[in-house]
């Protein structure tokens, strides 16, 4: 009996690591094809093929949005690659290979990740992708170093009982301040969005003392920044499946995950979303069913009267999207939002000559409902933008780390353009309560004045004493 027990123990001991390794999804030989159906018949054929082989649509998200004349990007598993190409040739459907081997890009992105165990703000590399444990530690250090303008808060918890945390960044004020809210990482595989949130925090903290616009903004506005909303999914994309998109809540006892950007209570699951939990656009069992969604909704509802702008960061396609995705009708504030966004993309292009497009989601991307951007507009937030960062399809969700910096630099330039507009149109001039002694130089000047006054008083007292001594 003992020998049998030891045999079982040894088998478990030596086989367990192999089973863990074998769980990790790989993409050897998978290819991403760019396909444009030229006829209605071809689009229907592609829809059926995608459903039948359960292909991973990168663009658009939903099979129903494959139609004549629209370019689609699809990841084809290695086992289907040859069959796929033969079928496309037989149907005279033009295609192009954009990624020859998805696993090579995955290996490159993982190789260029930060391997540092101990996080230090002095050496933190914002041009690399960081795993969640490093982001948690980075947040703690940012909060500690910049406690005069940064506070860290708990947004909520995930299904796997991890913390979702956010920053509140702003200078103290006696008045009620406006709010600009930004979330990143709602889709797990979109790593560049998470990298941008960190870059944004770094830049505004480095610039606000010397930059007049940012200094004024931080006196009148509080930034609420959520570096990673979908924490469970983001971690899973590092450990098990690089191209995982959803969260990790179990569904129906057979599958995992809800597309959080289909889970908000705005025309929930009406279009561009799926009721099948095996689909990447699965909208969940009900509107706002997910802990992550509930947490964001609570934060927004708490500050709703003061939220002036909502920004949600995604990839890829190089777009700034306006509401709505569920209808071709424009949102109430469409014209003003479009004007601001077009000025922003013009500023963006000046940085690295990247071309971004502006428009409603349903017009320039695809149909969708239950998205956070549409929900924010629907509840009355004046400016609600969905950013689709780099690139346009050469790398897709596998954007190389060497593109993090240019992506972040140009995106920040576009946002600063938006902030300039908000400052001019909605904030107005600072009053005495806003413009109190926040700058370091102000404190130095006040100290110098106090010391000078002290010396003058001492000299006057000394002169009086001498005068009194002489006349006596």
Dihedral of CA atoms 252, 257, 258, 260 in degrees, nearest 10, equals 160
Report residue 240 as tokens.
């098990």
Summarize pLDDT for 128-145 with one digit per residue, the tens.
999 999 999 999 999 999
Positions of E strands within 149-304: 150-157, 163-169, 178-183, 221-226, 250-251, 255-256
Summarize pLDDT for 144-158 with one digit per residue, the tens.
999 999 999 999 999
SS3 99: strand
Q: Which domains does the chain have, with CATH numbers?
A: 23-109 (3.30.70.340), 119-427 (3.40.630.10)
End-to-end CA distance of the chain: 115
Q: Would you call 388 a catalytic residue per the annotation?
A: yes
Strand 178-183 relative to strand 307-315: parallel, antiparallel, unpaired?
Answer: parallel
Average pLDDT of the segment spanning 377-384: 98
Only one residue has tokens 């948690």, namely 136
Strand partners, 157: 163
What pLDDT band is residue 430 in, cutting at 50, 70 and 90?
A: confident
Summarize pLDDT for 169-181 with one digit per residue, the tens.
999 999 999 999 9
Mean pLDDT, the chain, as a whole number?
A: 89
Summarize pLDDT for 395-407 with one digit per residue, the tens.
999 999 999 999 9
Q: Which of 292, 388, 398, 410 is catalytic?
A: 388
Dihedral of CA atoms 331, 335, 336, 337 in degrees, nearest 10, equals 60
> H or E segment at 308?
strand 307-315
Summarize pLDDT for 36-90 with one digit per residue, the tens.
999 999 999 999 999 999 999 999 999 999 999 999 999 999 999 999 999 999 9
CB 76 within 8 Å of CB 84: yes
Is the pLDDT confidence value at 19 over 80?
no
CB 49 within 8 Å of CB 55: yes
Q: Which sign, positive or negative, has the C-alpha torsion 401, 405, 407, 411?
A: positive
């Amino acid at each position: 009996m003992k020998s049998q027990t030891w045999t079982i123990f040894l088998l478990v001991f030596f086989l367990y690591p192999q089973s863990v390794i074998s769980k990790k999804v790989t993409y050897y030989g998978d290819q991403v094809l760019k396909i444009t159906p030229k006829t209605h018949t071809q689009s229907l054929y592609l829809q059926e093929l995608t459903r039948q082989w359960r292909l991973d649509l990168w663009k658009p998200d939903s099979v129903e949005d494959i139609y004549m004349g629209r370019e689609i990007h699809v990841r084809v598993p290695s086992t289907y690659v040859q069959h796929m190409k033969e079928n496309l040739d037989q149907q005279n459907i033009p295609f192009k290979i954009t990624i020859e081997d998805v696993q090579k890009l995955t290996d490159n992105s993982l190789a260029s990740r930060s391997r540092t165990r101990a996080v230090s703000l002095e050496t933190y590399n914002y041009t690399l992708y960081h795993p969640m444990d490093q982001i948690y530690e980075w947040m703690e250090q940012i909060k500690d170093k910049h406690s005069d303008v940064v506070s860290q808060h708990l947004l909520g918890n995930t299904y796997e009982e991890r913390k979702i945390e956010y920053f509140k960044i702003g200078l103290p004020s006696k008045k009620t301040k406006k709010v600009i809210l930004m979330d990143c990482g709602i889709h797990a595989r979109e790593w560049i969005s998470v990298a941008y949130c960190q870059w944004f925090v770094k830049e505004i903290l480095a610039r606000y003392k010397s930059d007049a616009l940012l200094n004024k903004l931080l006196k009148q506005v509080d930034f609420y920044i959520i570096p990673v909303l979908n924490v469970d999914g983001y971690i899973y994309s590092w450990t098990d499946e690089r191209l995982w998109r959803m969260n990790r809540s179990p569904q129906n006892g057979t599958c995992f995950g809800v597309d959080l950007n289909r889970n908000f209570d705005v025309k929930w699951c009406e279009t561009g979303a799926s009721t099948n939990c095996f689909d990447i656009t699965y909208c969940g069992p009900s509107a706002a069913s997910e802990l992550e969604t509930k947490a964001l909704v609570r934060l927004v509802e708490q500050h709703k009267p003061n939220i002036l702008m909502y920004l949600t960061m995604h990839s890829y396609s190089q777009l700034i999207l306006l509401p709505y995705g569920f209808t071709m009708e424009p949102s109430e504030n469409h014209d003003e939002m479009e004007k601001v966004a077009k000025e922003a993309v013009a500023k963006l292009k000046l940085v690295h000559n990247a071309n971004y497009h502006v428009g409603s989601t349903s017009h320039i991307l695809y149909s969708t409902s239950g998205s956070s951007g549409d929900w924010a507009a629907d509840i009355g937030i004046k400016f609600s933008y969905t950013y689709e960062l780099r690139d346009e399809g050469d790398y897709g969700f596998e954007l190389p780390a060497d593109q993090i910096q240019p992506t972040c630099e140009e995106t920040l330039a576009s946002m600063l353009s938006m902030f300039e507009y908000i400052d001019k149109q909605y904030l107005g001039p600072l009053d005495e309560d806003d413009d109190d002694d926040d700058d370091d130089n102000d404190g130095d000047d006040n100290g110098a004045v106090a010391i000078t006054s002290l010396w003058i008083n001492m000299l006057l007292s000394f002169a009086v004493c001498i005068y009194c001594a002489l006349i006596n």
